Every structure is written in C-alpha cells, then in structure tokens.
Amino acid sequence: MRGNDSAGLPGAAFFTPGSSSFTEFLAAHRPRLLPTAPPLPPGTRMAPDRFPHGTTVLALTYRDGVLIAGDRRATMGNLIAQRDLEKVHPADDHTAVAFAGTVGLALDMVRLYQVELAHFEKIEGVPMSLGAKATRLAAMIRQNLAQAMQGLAVVPLLVGYDLTAPGGGRGRIFSFDAAGGLYEKQQFHAEGSGSPYARGALKKLHRPDLTRREAALVALQALYDAADDDSATGGPDLGRRIFPVVSVITEDGFERLPETETEQLSRETVRQRTDRPDGPHATL
C-alpha cells in the first residue's frame, strides 16, 4: 500500500495510534483496496455465469483436532472455469479458512484476513482468540453484503484448534451466512452447492474418535458424494492427478496433507466406490 511522503518515508498514518485491526486501517486510508469495495454500480446484479465460483468445502472434528477439505473445481454457469482451484488456506498457525462463492473476491478476502490476524498479533503481542477470529471474519463478510446482493457472495468456512478451550484444546468449526451471521457447528459442516450431499455423507460416517486417516477418508467420501450429485463439484481426477485439498489442525498447528497421501487416499476412495457405488454404509 502506498503511504509514503515525498522523502520516501512512511506517512503520518503509519505512526498514528489506532485500532489493532488492519482492515479498519485500510478502510480509513485506502478504502478502494478493500475487496469489499463495490465493483458494480448500485442496483446492478451480475449474471451468475460471468465470474468463477468455488463450490464444496467441508470440515469435521476428529480425535486429534479438526480437518478441513475442499474440492478443486470452479464453474461459470455450466462451464468448468478451473479444475485445480485451491479453496483451503491457512489463516495462521492454528486456524484455517475455506470458501465457496465468487473466487476473486474470496481469495482477496482470505489474503486480507491473513494479514488481519498477523497485524493484530504484532500490535497486541498475543494471538487473537479463536472466538474473536470468527467474529472478525464475520465483520469482513458483513462488509461484503452489497456485493452479495449483486450476486457476488462469498461464504467462508472457518476452523481452528482452540488451545484455551475448557477441559483442554479441541477443534472448532464456524460457518457464516452472506450477511455475516456467525454460527458455531458441532462435529461437522459443509458449504457450497454440493454441501447438502456432503453433509448427508458426514452425518452417517462421522465419529468423534476418528483417526486422522479415517477422518480424511470420511472427508473424501463426502466430497465424492457431493460430486456425484452436484455438477459444480469436482471429484478426484485420476487422469490429471488433481485431488481434493485436505488439511488438519491439531495442537501442533496447521498441516496440509502431502499430495502423495491425498492421492493414495483418493485412489482408495475410488476403488471403494467401484465395489459400492453408493458409498460406505454407517455402522449401526
């Protein structure tokens, strides 16, 4: 961001005491750099097939923490706009965010959110609490309401490992609506066009005592179900070797599963579906 004086030194704004929120600082001094700046005239609504949209993302808690995953497809109407989009991103060491919705705005919002958390920690000297992180993201989504009403909605999914939770650390999941409504979800959740099918799979397969490997397989089965019934969701692409992004957050922090592990688990999921096309059954 440009904020230097004629001598090349930082401007006065950088030395003026204020909020620990980088978003508020940007809104005060360079509001046009915010991803929430309206791109269209008031009253204009964008056709849904003009911008790439990301689709299905999901999260579930497991024995050691929380897992978050997403398919790789972006669509523009009935067209596949991108086959290898990454919808899951670390926000900081113990938090991750995934998104469904307008890709360009979502990626800008994720980058701004990453800076927001880092800026707060530098100013305050301590990380933001997980509940405060969720509230801060909800406020950013609320600032995007005008664009959402124009058809450019962004719907994130936030997960984190709460080191300060009563009784010991645990994974937590937060969902949002397009107006910035904040909802904590228990055990699992999914967002995007394929989310009803993914949530159905998660409902029958999730268990609190899942290992990391079992949790990853449950996530891949849920994404497979979403791709099976929702054309905007992409399944494992064995030919191009494009597989869902799967990440976990535990007491040790954020970790994206290696591509080799995700490929092996994806191929195992496809083999299971060859024998049982409708997927595994829940244990009674």
- Look up tokens 């290696």; give the residue: 258
Alpha helix (H) residue ranges in the chain: 22-29, 103-124, 130-143, 145-149, 195-205, 212-229, 259-275
Written as six digits, the tokens of 35 are 């991803």
274 in catalytic set: no
Rounded to 5°, angle at Cα 157 from 82 and 123: 110
Nearest CA to 236 out of 247, 250, 225 is that of 225
Ramachandran assignment for 44, one of left (phi > 0), alpha (psi -120 to 50 degrees), beta (any other)? beta
Q: How far is CA 38 from each of CA 2, 107, 144, rounded to the nearest angstrom?
A: 21, 16, 8
From 23, 36, 44, 55, the catalytic residue:
55
- Look up tokens 């919002």; give the residue: 109
Residues serving a catalytic function are 55
